Amino acid sequence: MLQDGDLRQIESTPRRFPGLKAKPNHMIWMTELDPIGARIAATFRTLDVHKARGGYTLTERRSGKAVARLKPWPDTDRFELFYWSHGQERWKTFGDFGRLKLDLEDAAEIMQAQSIFCVKQKGILALIFG
């Protein structure tokens, strides 16, 4: 049973996420200990972390919907933050002035403050009856 502070490693059947172009039956989950993924999971405790294509997709646990994407900057402890553009149907970098080098705490603050990273919640009946 998971307790607060425990990290989740997902080994279930892969699901499709907007922006993830994974091949069928291609594992997109963390399959071995990943220190960067573990740091991201520790920072974003309410989201699942999926490693794919040189970055990490953060998904809402209940719905499985993609919330954000983090791509590590080489040789640093910084990340580039992406959001899913529904109009262009692709991941877009967050920021008005180009690519930002953010630490995980800054990325978490931005995600909490900006509505572009919110997952729309279904009504209670939709949650109960699917």
Q: Is residue 10 in some structural domain?
A: no
Q: What is the percent of the chain where pLDDT is above 70?
A: 66
pLDDT in tens, 41-95: 999 998 999 998 899 999 988 888 889 999 999 999 999 999 988 888 889 888 7
Q: Is residue 11 in some structural domain?
A: no
Q: Tell me whether strands 90-93 and 79-85 are parallel, antiparallel or unpaired.
A: antiparallel
Predicted confidence band of residue 5 (pLDDT cuts 50, 70, 90):
low
Q: Is residue 61 in some structural domain?
A: yes
Average pLDDT of the residues in 24-29: 40
| pLDDT, position 25 | 35
Q: Is residue 102 in some structural domain?
A: yes
Q: Is residue 107 in some structural domain?
A: yes
Integer angstrom CA distances of residue 51 from 27, 110, 120, 122, 125: 9, 21, 23, 27, 32
CA 77/CA 79 separation, integer angstroms: 7
The domain total for the chain is: 1
pTM above 0.85, yes or no: no
DSSP-assigned letter for residue 76: S
* Those residues with Cβ within 8 angstroms of residue 83's Cβ, 6 or more apart along the chain or in another chain: 68, 69, 91, 92, 94, 114, 116, 117
CA 53/CA 71 separation, integer angstroms: 9
Domain of residue 110: give its range.
Answer: 35-129
